[in-house]
Structure 1
């Protein structure tokens, strides 16, 4: 659930070339706040894929040794980031494994983003990178996924309903991504 300051209908826009630059600024801010707790900071999600329509909300993955709420919440809270309280923002299933995570919203009034903390070598961290790299590499998949997201946002602008419809479609996309990863020898970063 979004915080009250984030509530708005789902709107998907055409790719914006400033997204990578905005990610870099945000990543630097997170590096400074998290120090050596952050093993890697990745631009993930649709805004990380050149040419991909997306919600104007950056998805950032911070890879850590261990998802430690007692350490991460104060570090990010010190710069205004808010830990999302819902259970689905604390665990997710990826490759059949239950994986810990934490998701943070930006400070009130800052650039819209979701900051996902995941364990460095976990299946869910791999999933986020595979999603990005597959759509960067496969133009047909990228165009189809972008068209799907644009049409879905127009038809179902409610965030929760949109997500419920998008989830099974994402499973289909990721089945193709796994085949691509095997066929190309995609190296998990």
Structure 2
């Protein structure tokens, strides 16, 4: 069941606790650990699942073992992110990821390659929504309506949400050029 809940300030605290565990478990293999997704945007309603991005130089078995040791389970069937319209030129490597879940707290963990399109996409969209509260509120309303109409259909929810987020990405790209935004390695 898809449920959008009010912003919870504890999400940031939960992220910091998970970040420390992840960094310790990966022993230097994590180049960066970022809080991403809707729970990373202050005052934005979201699914009560923290999204975390771990940036790595390469995918290694050592990374998977380290995350398994601290309770993260890899979903092996998820190997890449959604390809936005107009980005047909991207290689599979630019969209590749390893995806892990954990239940306490609920976390979706995305392991992505440094300098890849999808690694940048997550950070750019997060920072854009943080800097544009009206865009964030409009996005929140879309998610609430999608959850209301597709409460038990996660595929339909994402079939609509992903292209909407691509529209946000277009605005975020223009904003990044205007302000000189660059992804930061430290949170």
Q: What is the match of residue 149 of structure 2?
A: 155
- In structure 1, how many angstroms separate the alpha carbons of the residues matched to 2:97 and 2:47? 22
Q: What is the match of residue 5 of structure 1?
A: none
Q: What is the match of residue 4 of structure 1?
A: none
Structure 2 stretches of 5 or more lacking a match? none
- In structure 1, how many angstroms separate the alpha carbons of the residues matched to 2:160 and 2:14? 28
Q: What is the match of residue 91 of structure 1?
A: 80
More strand by proportion, 1 or 2? Answer: 1
Q: Give CA deviations for 1:73-109 in whole Å, capped at 9, x if unaligned.
A: 21111222110122xx212346542232101011xx5
Q: Give CA deviations for 1:13-35 in whole Å, capped at 9, x if unaligned.
A: 11111110010011111111111
Map of 1:70-89 to 2, 5 A cutoff?
Answer: 70-86=61-77, 89=78
The answer to which of 46-55 and 166-175 deviates more is 166-175
TM-score of the superposed pair, with normalisation by structure 2: 0.89
Dislocated runs of 4+, deviation >6 Å: none
Structure 1 stretches of 5 or more lacking a match? 1-8
- In structure 2, how many angstroms separate the alpha carbons of the residues matched to 1:42 and 1:79? 17
Q: What is the match of residue 114 of structure 1?
A: 108
Map of 1:111-150 to 2, 5 A cutoff?
Answer: 111-150=105-144
TM-score of the superposed pair, with normalisation by structure 1: 0.88
Matched, 1:105 2:96: no
- In structure 2, how many angstroms separate the alpha carbons of the residues matched to 1:137 and 1:58? 20
State the 1:140 CA deviation.
Answer: 1.6
